[in-house]
Structures are given as C-alpha cells and as structure tokens.
Amino acid sequence: MKRVVLGAGLAFAMGVVLIAGKSYLDRGHSEWLLLVPLAFTCAGVLVRQRAPLVSLALGVVGVTIDGFVGPSLGTVLVFTDNLYAAALYGPVRFARILLGVTAVLAVVAGALGGFLAENWWMLAVMGVQAGLVLITPVTTALVLREQRDRAAAEKARAEQVAHLAELDRQASVIAERTRMARELHDMIANHFSAIAIQSTAALSRKDLDPETVRKIMETVRENSVKGMAEMRTMIGLLRQEGDEGEGEATRPRLADVEALVERTRRAGMTVELRVDGEARELPAPIDLAGYRIVQEALTNALKHGASPVSVAVAYEGEQVRLSVENALGGRRRDGLPGAGAGLVGMRERASLVDGFFEAGEVWGGEAANGGDERGCWRVLAVLPAAEGEGRGGRGAQG
C-alpha cells in the first residue's frame, strides 16, 4: 500500500512540475485549475490494482476536464497509467474491448485534429500522438498480461508434473517395498516353518532317542544356515548400485524345486514330486515366480496341512503348470502364526508375469486320494513359458 501511495504522490508531483514548466495548452485559465484533472488521474493511480475499472473511470473524468481547461502533458501521461492498469488488472474481455475502443478513438482524434487544423499533416501527427497515448498502454498491458498468464500456466504445469513425479516415486517405493516384503516372506517362511515344526516336535517328545534328536538338530541347522545364506543374498542385492537385478548365480530356479521338496521331507512331511515334459530355461521373472510359488505352497502345507503332499511341475508348450496338493490338516499348527500374506504373495507373483493362480479346497485330488476323505488343499498356478505370452484366467487351465 505504501508503494501505491508513493507512486500516486510522485505522479502528482511530476504533473505539478510539468504544469509549472508551462507544459500545457494555455487557454487563459489559472494554472491551479489544471491541478483538478491531475488530481483525478492520480486518484486513479491509488486504486489501480484494487479497482482497475474505477481507476479508468477517474482517469476518463480527469482527462475530460483537462480537455476543457488545458490539456496538460502531466494529466495525459498519468492517464496512460490508468489505461494500462485497467487493461492489466481488469477483466480479460474488458481489456480486449478497451483495445478496440482506444484504436477507434485514436483514429477519430487524428481525423478531428486534422480537420480542425485544416492540415492533413496535422492529421498524421495527431493520429500518432493519440495512438501513443491511447493504444500503446493498452497493447503493452495485454502483452504483459499474456506473458503473465503463460508463466502462471507453465508454473501450474510444472507443479502438476512435479506432483505426478512424486506420485510415481511413491508408487515405485510402494511397489519395491511390496516386492521386498514378498521376497523376504517367501525366503524366510519356508526355513523358519521347518525349524519351528522340528524343534516343537523335539521338545514335545520325551521318548526320542539321541540319534533321532541329532537328525532333527541337523535339519534345523541346515534350514538355519540356508535361511541366513538367502538373507545375505537379499542384503547384497539391496546394497548393489544400479538396477542390476538378481544375479544369475544366486537366483532361485524352478529347476531347483527338488531341493524344496527334500527340505519339506526332512521336516517330517511325505512329499511326492512329479515333473512332466522337458525342463527348459525360463525367463528370470517367470523362473523366480514359479520357484517362490512352490516354496510358499510347501510352507503352507507344513504350517496348516498334513501329509501326503503332491507337487507337480508340467512344461506344456507355451506355459508351465504348477500344482501343490496336501491333505487338510484341520487346524493351524500350534506356535506357527501366519500373517496371511502367503496366498496374496503367490497371487501377486502369478499376476506380475501375466499368469493364472488359484488356491482352495478341492475334492478328488492326488493328496486326497492318498488317504484324506475330506479332500485336499490345492494351489494351482499356470505361468507363461516366455515373457509376454501370458494366458491369465481360467482359460489357462484347459
């Protein structure tokens, strides 16, 4: 506000100096009378931003009075600021209308001046002067307004791009955290479940001979060592710089499913493995997804199911079919809490490679035929044998 008042004061002082210097058309009026229209235009400067149309109205009143008593150069110059403020701070539509009105007034003023002076050269001079006074401030304001609006649009676009980038970053962080949680769950749950089951059996049985206890402890140690090794591998991958992914030497493969089966057998489950078709090299994401799905299915069988367990891996042309069936255990094993993330993780893994997944209780399965009349729990996943060849949906079962 202080700057506006100071600007209006300077404009009035400038006008007074110009009037004192005889910069006006002398029509025999007192010089003090010329201060009235100057005061009107300077009053318009005070409200140029808060009320630009009022500023223009005060300027029009001032310049009209000045036309009868002068005109004076100071009032005309301050009036150009009234025009500029109205075009810059007023409504856009009004600014465009104002440009047309000032253009017409400039032509009319030039023609009228030339006609009254009976000199066509005066028409050109008056036309140029009227154009400078009327059209130039409005045109300048419109150009500046366009640049300001463009800058505001670019700023809004930049903020939107930054917001979208932040959303992408957050989505990437969430996706990476989900992937890490899924990997850690699948790696650790199998080993720790076997350790918990075997240690519980060793603690609950008082009639075990030393040789049996020794075998149980060896299995517990083996699972502990393998679990720690996989944890070190995961930590090493997290510390790698760049997007190098999982190394070929450390990446679990579907071809290693026999080791998972053997580990489950050592935990006390009866497991049968069947591989149909010719095993072949699979893309890394599909290979890892298949391995982790079988691993988690066996972990769930250890924690919640019962023997016998049947694992089937079938290589069928453009897809790989994985099936894990176990007899229903009837209740959760004591001391083995679950987070409920196993089925979610398996479904996510299948979905990420455009595969099909389902899990639930079925009747007539291989494990059920082995001795559980109530049926069995089956995990079924159908994965594409190559990336981009997914057959997601129930159509994959046929």
Residue 286 tokens read as: 């599909």
How far apart are alpha carbons 245 and 279 in whole angstroms? 24
Instruction: Evaluate whether 114 touches 122 at the Cβ level (below 8 Å).
Output: yes
Strand-strand pairing, 376-384 and 356-362: antiparallel
Look at residue 247 in the predicted model and tell me its pLDDT.
47
pTM higher than the cut 0.75? no
Question: Please, what is the Cα angle at 141 between 136 and 142, to 5 degrees?
Answer: 100
Task: Mark residue 376 as left, alpha or beta (left: phi above 0; alpha: psi -120 to 50; beta: remaining).
Answer: beta
Q: Hey, how many other C-beta atoms are within 10 angstroms of the C-beta on 144? A: 13
How far apart are alpha carbons 323 and 358 in whole angstroms? 10
Share of the chain above pLDDT 70, in %: 79
Residues linked to residue 361 through DSSP beta bridges, in sequence order: 377
Starting at the earlier edge strand, list the strands of the sheet with 376-384: 271-276, 305-316, 319-328, 376-384, 356-362
Give the single-character DSSP code of 132. Answer: I
What residues contact residue 112 under an 8 Å CB cut-off, 6+ apart? 126
Q: Torsions phi, psi of 288, nearest 5?
A: -65, -40
172-397 is a CATH 3.40.718.10 domain: no
Q: Hey, how many other C-beta atoms are within 10 angstroms of the C-beta on 155? A: 10
Look at residue 127 in the predicted model and tell me its pLDDT.
60
* Cis, peptide link before residue 252, omega less than 30° from 0: no
Look at residue 195 in the predicted model and tell me its pLDDT.
76
Instruction: Evaluate whether 159 touches 138 at the Cβ level (below 8 Å).
Output: no
What residues contact residue 223 under an 8 Å CB cut-off, 6+ apart? 191, 192, 194, 195, 198, 263
End-to-end CA distance of the chain: 79
Q: Where are the alpha helices (DSSP H) in the chain?
A: 2-20, 35-46, 52-69, 73-89, 92-117, 120-130, 136-204, 210-239, 257-266, 284-304, 342-352, 366-369
* Cis, peptide link before residue 308, omega less than 30° from 0: yes
- Look at residue 311 and give its three-state secondary structure: strand
Residue matched to tokens 């199998």 = 190
Look at residue 392 in the predicted model and tell me its pLDDT.
45
Instruction: Evaluate whether 286 touches 383 at the Cβ level (below 8 Å).
Output: yes
Q: What is the pLDDT of residues 116-143, one digit of tens each?
A: 656 555 555 556 677 778 888 899 999 9
Instruction: Evaluate whether 59 touches 79 at the Cβ level (below 8 Å).
Output: yes
The domains of the chain are located at: 2-158, 172-397
Closest CA to 113 of 32, 9, 177, 105: 105
What residues contact residue 366 under an 8 Å CB cut-off, 6+ apart? 272, 310, 312, 325, 376
Count of CA atoms in the C-beta half-sphere (13 A) of 6: 3
Look at residue 396 in the predicted model and tell me its pLDDT.
39
Strand-strand pairing, 356-362 and 319-328: unpaired
Determine the angle formed by the axes of helices 92-117 and 136-204, rounding to 10 degrees.
170
- In the predicted model, residues of the chain with pLDDT beneath 50 are 244-249, 331-337, 365-372, 391-398
Look at residue 265 in the predicted model and tell me its pLDDT.
85
